[in-house]
Chains A and B, each alone.
Chain A
Amino acid sequence: MSDATVIQVEGLTKRFGDLVAVDNLSFSVQRGEILGLLGPNGAGKTTTIQMMLGLTTPTAGTVRILGMDIRRHRREILQRVNFSSAYVALPSNLTVLENLTVFAWLYGIRRPRKRIEALLELFEIPQVLHQITGALSSGQQTRVNLCKAFLNDPEVLFLDEPTASLDPDIAEKVRSTLLHIQKERGVTMVYTSHNMREVELVCDRLLFLSRGKVIASGTPKEVIRRARSRSLEDVFIRIARGGVLVDTQQPEED
Chain B
Amino acid sequence: MGLRVAAIVVRHLFLYRRSLARAGEVFFWPVMDLLVWGFLTRYLQEHEIPLGVGWLLGGVIFWDILYRSQQAITLSLHEEIWVRNVLNVFLSPLSMGEYLLATSLMGIIKATLTLAVLGSLAYLFYAFNIWTMGLALVPFVACLLLFGWAVGMVTMAIILRYGQAAEALVWGVPFLLQPFSAVFYPLEALPAGAQVFSRLLPSTYVFEGMRAALTTGAVEGRLLATAFLLDLIYLAFGAAFFAWMFRIVQEKGYLSRLGME
Residues of A within 8 A of B (CB): 14, 16, 46-47, 50, 53, 55-57, 75-76, 78-79, 82-83, 85, 87-94, 98, 101-103, 105-108, 110, 132, 148
Counting chain B CB atoms within 10 Å of each CB, the highest count among A14, A56, A78 belongs to: A56
7 contacts between A and B (CB under 8 A): A46-B256, A50-B256, A90-B85, A90-B88, A94-B18, A103-B88, A108-B3
Indicate if B221 sits at the interface (CB-CB under 8 A). no
A91 to B82, CA, bound (A): 9
A148 to B94, CA, bound (A): 15
Residues of the B chain whose Cβ atoms lie less than 8 Å from the Cβ of A76: 93
A76 to B15, CA, bound (A): 29
Residues of the A chain whose Cβ atoms lie less than 8 Å from the Cβ of B6: 105
What's the nearest-Cβ distance from chain B to residue A50, in Å?
A: 5
User: Are B3 and A105 within 8 A (Cβ)?
Assistant: yes
A76 to B91, CA, bound (A): 11
Residues of B within 8 A of A (CB): 3-4, 6-8, 10-11, 14-15, 18-19, 79-80, 83-95, 247, 250-253, 255-256, 259-260
Residues of the A chain whose Cβ atoms lie less than 8 Å from the Cβ of B91: 53, 55, 78, 82-83
What's the nearest-Cβ distance from chain B to residue A230, in Å?
A: 33
Instruction: Report which of A16, A53, A88, A93 forms a contact with B15, defined as CB distance below 8 A.
Output: A93
Residues of the B chain whose Cβ atoms lie less than 8 Å from the Cβ of A46: 256
User: Are B11 and A50 within 8 A (Cβ)?
Assistant: no
A106 to B253, CA, bound (A): 23
User: Are A105 and B7 within 8 A (Cβ)?
Assistant: yes
A57 to B86, CA, bound (A): 18
Residues of the A chain whose Cβ atoms lie less than 8 Å from the Cβ of B251: 56-57
Residues of the A chain whose Cβ atoms lie less than 8 Å from the Cβ of B94: 106
A24 to B259, CA, bound (A): 26
Does more than half of chain A's interface fall in helix, strand or loop, or is it mixed?
mixed
Asked if A88 meets B4 with Cβ closer than 8 Å, knowing A16-B252, A55-B90, A106-B93, the reply is no
Output the nearest chain B residue to A106 by Cβ-Cβ distance.
Answer: B92
Asked if A78 meets B92 with Cβ closer than 8 Å, knowing A85-B87, A94-B14, the reply is yes
User: Are B7 and A56 within 8 A (Cβ)?
Assistant: no
A91 to B259, CA, bound (A): 13
Residues of the B chain whose Cβ atoms lie less than 8 Å from the Cβ of A108: 3-4, 93
Question: What are the nearest 10 A-B pairs in CB distance?
Answer: A105-B7, A56-B253, A106-B92, A102-B11, A89-B84, A79-B93, A57-B250, A87-B260, A78-B93, A98-B14
User: Are A56 and B92 within 8 A (Cβ)?
Assistant: no
User: Are B14 and A75 within 8 A (Cβ)?
Assistant: no
Residues of the A chain whose Cβ atoms lie less than 8 Å from the Cβ of B87: 55, 83, 85, 88
Instruction: Report which of B3, B10, B85, B95 forms a contact with A88, defined as CB distance below 8 A.
Output: B85
Residues of the B chain whose Cβ atoms lie less than 8 Å from the Cβ of A79: 93
A40 to B252, CA, bound (A): 21
Using A89-B83, A102-B14, A108-B4 as known contacts, list a sample of 16 further A-B pairs with CB atoms less than 8 Å apart, ordered by residue number in A.
A16-B252, A55-B253, A56-B250, A56-B256, A57-B250, A57-B251, A85-B87, A91-B85, A94-B18, A102-B7, A103-B7, A105-B6, A105-B7, A106-B8, A106-B89, A106-B92
User: Are B15 and A91 within 8 A (Cβ)?
Assistant: yes
Residues of the A chain whose Cβ atoms lie less than 8 Å from the Cβ of B256: 46, 50, 55-56
Residues of the B chain whose Cβ atoms lie less than 8 Å from the Cβ of A16: 252-253
Residues of the B chain whose Cβ atoms lie less than 8 Å from the Cβ of A56: 250-253, 255-256
What's the nearest-Cβ distance from chain A to residue B259, in Å?
A: 6
A57 to B255, CA, bound (A): 11
Asked if A107 meets B92 with Cβ closer than 8 Å, knowing A87-B260, A89-B85, the reply is yes
User: Are B3 and A110 within 8 A (Cβ)?
Assistant: yes
